[in-house]
Amino acid sequence: MIYTIGAMTDAMPSLPDLSSLTPQQLLEALLPPEELAAQVRRALAEDLGAAGDVTGEAMIDASRTATAVVRLRKDGIACGAAVAAEVLRQAAPGSMLSAHAADGERLEAGRVFLSVQGPLRGILAAERTLLNYVGRLSGIATLTARYVDRARGTKAAICDTRKTTPGMRMLEKWAVRCGGGTNHRIGLFDAMLVKDNHVAGLAPRAMAEAVARAAASARAAHPLRFVEVECDTLDQVREILALPAGTVDMVLLDNMMPDAIVAAVAARDASAPRVLLEASGGIGLEDVASYAATGVDRISIGALTHSASCLDVGLDIEPGA
pLDDT digits (tens, 9 = 90+) for 143-188: 999 999 999 999 999 999 999 999 999 999 999 999 999 999 999 9
Average pLDDT, the chain: 94
Residue 9 has pLDDT above 50, yes or no: no
103 given a catalytic annotation: no
Q: Could you give the CA distance from residue 116 to residue 11 in angstroms, rounded to a whole number?
A: 25
Q: Is 195 tagged catalytic? A: yes
Q: What is the pLDDT of residue 11?
A: 37
Q: State yes or no: is 254 an active-site residue.
A: yes
Range with the poorest average pLDDT among 5-9, 197-201, 276-280, 292-296: 5-9
In this prediction the pTM is: 0.93
State the pLDDT confidence band at 13, using cuts at 50, 70 and 90: very low
Between these two residues, 7 and 250, which has the higher pLDDT value? 250
The neighbour count for residue 183, using CB atoms within 10 Å, is 18
Active site residue 163: yes
- Domain positions in the chain: 2-150+309-317, 153-306
The superfamily in CATH containing domain 153-306 is Aldolase class I (3.20.20.70)
Of these residues, 47, 163, 232, 249, which one is catalytic? 163
Topology (CATH level 3) of domain 2-150+309-317: Aldehyde Oxidoreductase; domain 3 (3.90.1170)
Which stretches within 113-203 are classed as H helix?
Answer: 120-151, 169-178
Q: Could you count the other beta carbons within 10 Å of the beta carbon of residue 233?
A: 14
Q: Which of 195, 205, 235, 318 is catalytic?
A: 195
CB 186 within 8 A of CB 169: yes
- Predicted confidence at residue 4, as pLDDT, reads 63
Closest CA to 122 of 176, 167, 84, 169: 84
**Rounded to 5°, angle at Cα 302 from 296 and 308:** 125
CB count, 10 Å around CB of 19?
11
Catalytic residue, chosen from 86, 230, 278, 297, is 230
Q: Which of 128, 146, 162, 219 is catalytic?
A: 128
